[in-house]
Structure 1
Amino acid sequence: MPALPDGEPSPEDGALPEWVHGSSPEGFGVYLHVPFCRVRCGYCDFNTYTSSELGGGASQESYARTALREIDLAARVLAQAGRDRPVGTVFVGGGTPTLLPVDDLALLLDAVRDTWGLEPGAEVTTEANPDSVTADSLASLADAGFTRVSFGMQSAVPSVLATLERTHDPERVPQVVQWARDAGLAVSLDLIYGTPGESVADWQRSVEAALACGVDHVSAYALVIEEGTRMAGQVRRGLLPPTDPDDQATKYEIADALLADAGLGWYEVSNWARTPEQACRHNLAYWRGADWWGIGPGAHSHVGSGEQAVRWWNVKHPRAYAERLGRGVSPAAGRERLGAQDVALEQVLLRVRLREGLPVAELSPAGRRAVAGLVADGLLDGRAAVRGNVELTLRGRLLADAVVRALTD
């Protein structure tokens, strides 16, 4: 797992600095991290734990009650800063949130609703594995107020799932999607491309299988083999080949073409939706710099905008998280305020990934001068640039990091 960022100490009472006090017109989201998995997949470096890794002082059974204490803390802190307001999006991620009983997930959502209220039409999402839900549990989630579920499909090919150490049967995916739709839930499927040993035909089969489920949202992520993971060790020992950027680029182009032909348009480099209303509003809030509070071990939070913002992150282990809240202190491990240069970089880094892009006028003078060259290289849309906006082409999406460097150097 990656280390927590460096930063200054966060106060034990969790109080926000004075520069972010006051009301804000920006949206407000809540992220709830459920850090449990039945098994740890070999490629995963998320902040998750199996039952054997928890140790004393933390458990799945007590987790929801522990997280309620942070919700209470957040309520006090935001009220003191004048930043409390109804919640527009809730996202329950992990880990595998649906390892918790539905009653626990409903308890957490009820606490968010009772504490801040939900905006009319609020988006409430939970992640799930295909083998961690039933028709009844999905119906109960919908009854509790969830509106959306994101299934970790990853692939439709058994050999690829085996390399990723995923445990579900790919034939179960259409069934759980239908159960979710029958319950009235919007459904997204997550896919991963570039797994060692995955052929182009394997990938096309996976995208087509996802589309055959009739979903209105698909996320597709290039596999990144992170240091410290079991898969990184397998690559280092020669048991698996490393990822191939050219292969991943080809597979991205295949996905984009298939999804577009099926009526799903890209709205962020790794995300496609049938309509703008079916885009994930919670993730859009991250990319657009809205306020959010992250509940749970290792969760990150952000309040304010630009240089008048603060972000912080919680201790990572569920045991340390429970211990701090049990003592009545904030679980935050550190926090930071970005300087002007960092803010400018992040604005470009995040917003250029969106189909809506960002205004050329918001770039630095050097960034504005770089636009023409990026258009000539086929990385930015020329017509959009004439209108005064920075928007990626398909080639630009494949080389988004290079575009960001050119716009911010």
Structure 2
Amino acid sequence: MGSAHRIGVVGLGFISKVYLETLTAAPDVEITAVADLDRSRADAAADALPSARARSVDELLAADDVDVVLNLTIPAAHADVALAAIAQGKDVYGEKPLAAAFADAQEILRAAEAAGVRVGCAPDTVLGTGLQTARAVVDAGEIGRPIAATAQMVTPGHERWHPNPDFYYQPGGGPLLDMGPYYVTALVQLLGPVESVFGAGSRLRSERIIGGGARAGEAVPVAVDSHVTGILEHTSGALSTITTTFDGTATKAPPIEVHGENGSLGVPDPNHFDGEVSLHELGGTGWAPVSPRAGVPGGARGIGLLDLLRAPDGVAPRASGEMALHALEIMTGLLDSAASGSRVTLTTTVERPPLVPLP
């Protein structure tokens, strides 16, 4: 098998638990260092990981026994940590979005190219059997030429369950940059890259009240739009309509539907790795389930990093920095369009990665 891939984890908040479970179960991975601004979190994680030592962020980034940095910090810190890791010659895999600002994300990829290191980024949910099976149906031509897609994410806000939801309502957060990466990346996987966008946004209230935990009842200021909707104009000619909101209660609409000349496709929640795909053929009698055809069965957060680690030299990871950059430009383009009232033409594009073969 060769030597293990040595991982340093920066940021040990809510999402880190599932990443650590995925990585510690991988035989070719060793977590050698953990760091968090709250040293008690790092100490607790190191106590549970015999191979890891708790370190400061700077110590971890400079450590000789760390080859790849897993960046699980809040969005506002994504760029700083990624750039510091790249400056140390380390590969980086980060939580979404790639950065809070598009210009910072561009700088990450420029720096990585100059340093000869790799960048990967969540979401890797699109590598599960749900989205990969849906894409296999589209790629096989079973709905004919794709014409349109719809995507909806409706919740009343993360402050109802998250003990420290502040960053969701600051620049780099909001429903689009927080949850949108799952839906936007799925739409790009299904229908290809986007060339222009048109968006609109609104804000229901100026503050949110934390619903539980030690800070229950505390007000959190809202500095971003909490409802964003828009149209994505794909290079293929297909049009996607997306809505992401922290101002709704619930929806009966499917997370994603794709419509083509010869049929429509129901796509499961892109925030999950699996779920039922359903197909309604033109002239058919109703929706029929589609058995899994592609993807990682039983996937969990971290499989995108494993894909990066195991990719042959010169082969881009499926959850690549380029995919994350394009998704981020789509989202920031929607926000810019909402602010200006004008269509925004994108500057990036991306190739869809190969399907994940079903084992």
Q: TM-score, normalised by structure 1?
A: 0.26
Higher relative contact order (CA 8 A, sep 6+): 2
**Larger helix share, 1 or 2:** 1
After TM superposition, the score normalised by the length of structure 2 is 0.29
- Which one has a bigger Cα radius of gyration? 1
